């Protein structure tokens, strides 16, 4: 028996004998208020938040968490406001990388001196090329109010993981109707495409040593701007 088999055998013994793979079914049953099949693992966490997705209450909590994480939050009523904000935030940038599927209207405020580099999956930028760009602009898949987390899952308007991990500044556009309160709500949305790589972002990249000296930008953008559309 391999070490892996030994570990899995112990996990099964601790959980008790049960048919393979009932966990998701149990979670779905709990979420819908039904009864989980016999032998499944009970999941007692909250399946839903107390406020509706996209509600002002959910957005307010998200903003509070983002600010606490030292992210910069901006509000936009529509695409024209997004373009103006992106133009202001990146006024000093000489080059900006964007996913191939990003809304072109969001880039309308960039000056002529700012070069826009499209990153396509069939023509990806190298890490060195990404490192030479000043910023990245992306959309998002979902935002979690309770944890102040924004999740990207590789949609054409979000791009590859490397695109958002190498440049020093990340401008992320989030629609308020994408804001949910809890992690389980977000996970259910992301489960529609389990094959996609995900990036969970809670503020700018930061780490602390044993003396709690905070250093930003070690494994991701040093600066995170979140543009909330529809607030």
Predicted confidence (pLDDT) at residue 166 exceeds the cutoff of 80: yes
| 94/61 Cα distance (integer angstroms) | 34
CA distances from 230 to 93, 155, 175 (A): 26, 21, 6
User: Between residues 165 and 205, which one has the greater pLDDT?
Assistant: 165
φ, ψ of residue 80 to 5 degrees: the values are: -65, -40
* DSSP-H helix ranges across 33-147: 56-68, 79-89, 127-131
| 37/28 Cα distance (integer angstroms) | 11
179 forms bridges with which residues in the sheet?
143
Least confident of 36-40, 72-76, 166-170: 36-40
Q: 9-31: per-residue pLDDT in tens?
A: 888 888 875 544 444 444 444 44
Looking up tokens 């109010």, which residue turns up?
145
pLDDT at residue number 34: 54
Backbone angle region of 154, left / alpha / beta, with phi > 0 → left and psi within -120 to 50 → alpha: left
pLDDT at residue number 71: 95
Q: 68-86: per-residue pLDDT in tens?
A: 999 999 999 988 999 999 9
Predicted confidence (pLDDT) at residue 168 exceeds the cutoff of 60: yes
pLDDT at residue number 69: 92
Q: What is the DSSP letter of 120?
A: B
pLDDT at residue number 27: 47
Q: What is the largest CA-CA distance in the chain?
A: 65
pLDDT at residue number 31: 47
- Check the CA dihedral 21-26-32-35 and report its sign: positive
């Amino acid at each position: 028996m391999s070490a892996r088999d030994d570990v899995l055998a112990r996990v099964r013994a601790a959980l008790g004998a049960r048919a393979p793979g009932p966990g998701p079914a149990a979670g779905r049953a709990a979420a819908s208020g039904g009864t989980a099949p016999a032998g499944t693992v009970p999941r007692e966490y909250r399946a839903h938040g107390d406020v509706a997705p996209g509600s002002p209450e959910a957005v307010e909590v998200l903003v509070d968490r983002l600010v606490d994480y030292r992210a910069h939050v901006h509000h936009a009523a529509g695409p024209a406001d997004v373009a103006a904000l992106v133009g202001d935030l990146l006024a000093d940038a000489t080059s900006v990388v964007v996913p191939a599927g990003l809304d072109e209207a969001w880039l309308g405020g960039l000056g002529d001196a700012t070069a826009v580099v499209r990153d396509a999956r069939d023509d990806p930028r190298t890490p060195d090329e990404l490192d030479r760009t000043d910023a990245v602009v992306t959309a998002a898949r979902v935002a979690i109010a309770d944890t102040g987390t924004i999740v990207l899952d590789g949609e054409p308007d979000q791009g590859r993981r490397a695109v958002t991990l190498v440049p020093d500044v990340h401008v992320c556009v989030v629609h308020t109707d994408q804001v949910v309160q809890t992690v389980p709500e977000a996970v259910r949305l992301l489960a529609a495409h389990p094959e996609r790589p995900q990036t969970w972002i809670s503020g700018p990249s930061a780490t602390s040593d044993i003396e709690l000296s905070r250093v930003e930008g070690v494994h991701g953008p040093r600066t995170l701007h979140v543009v909330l559309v529809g607030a």
